Amino acid sequence: MGQRILGIDPGTIQFGYGLLEAERGDATYVTAGVIKAPRSLEIGERLHRIHTELLSLLETWSPNVVAVEEPFVPPEVASRGGHRTSIRSAMAVGQAQAVALLAAAHYSLPVFRYPPTQVKNAVSGYGQGSKQQVAAMVGLLLGLQKPPEPADATDALAVALCHLQHERLNTLA
C-alpha cells in the first residue's frame, strides 16, 4: 500500500474531501464526497458536525497525510477592506480549515496547506483556471469517466493532487 493523501476543500456548509492512493508518483482515486452541515444550524453546531464526521473519515480511511486548501480573499478586497461577504466567507472557510487541522492533529497526521492558485496551477497548469477546467483535469489525471460531484469533492481531489505534485518536486530538488 502506498501513501494515502486526504485532500480537503474546507467549507462550513459543504466540506469537500478526496482521498488518493499514491504509489511511485502515480495517483489512484479511492473516494471523494462532502460532509454537509445545514445552513439552518448555528456555526458552532456546523463545525462540530464537520469535525465529528471528519474524525470518522480519518478513522475509516487511515490517510498518511492531509492536504488542505487555504481560504481565498481577493487582493483588492483585502486591501480596501472590501466586500463584507467576501471577508465573511473567507473567515468561515478559515474556521472550517481549523477543524481540519484539529482533526488531523487528533491522529498526529502531517498537514500541508496550499493556496487556491497553487492547486489550480498544479492540476490545470493555470493558476486562474475555472472550476470546470480543474474538474476536467482531475477526471483526466485520475482516469475517471467523469469527475465526482459536487464540485467541492472534485476540488478536494485537486488539493490532494497538488500535494502529490509538491512531493514529486521536492523529491527532484
pLDDT grade for 71, boundaries at 50, 70 and 90: confident
Q: What is the pLDDT of residue 76?
A: 56
Asked if the model's pLDDT at residue 82 lies above 60, the reply is no
pLDDT tens-digit readout, 99-122: 999 999 999 999 999 999 999 999
Domains (range + CATH), the chain: 3-172 (3.30.420.10)
Before 150, cis peptide (omega within 30)? Answer: yes
**Residue labelled with grid coordinates 498544479:** 122
The three grid cell numbers given for residue 140, joined into one nine-digit string: 483526466
**Residue labelled with grid coordinates 502529490:** 164
Asked if the model's pLDDT at residue 11 lies above 90, the reply is yes
**Residue labelled with grid coordinates 496547506:** 113
Q: What is the pLDDT of residue 30?
A: 97
At 22, which helix (H) or strand (E)? Answer: strand 14-23
> Which has the minimum average pLDDT: 11-15, 68-72, 94-98?
68-72
pLDDT grade for 81, boundaries at 50, 70 and 90: low
Q: What is the pLDDT of residue 65?
A: 98
Asked if the model's pLDDT at residue 47 lies above 70, the reply is yes
Q: What is the pTM of this model?
A: 0.91
Mean pLDDT across the chain: 90
Asked if the model's pLDDT at residue 51 lies above 90, the reply is yes
Instruction: Report which listed range, 50-59, 77-86, 141-150, is most confident.
Output: 50-59
State the pairing for strand pair 3-9/65-69.
parallel
What positions carry a catalytic annotation?
9, 69, 152
pLDDT grade for 91, boundaries at 50, 70 and 90: confident
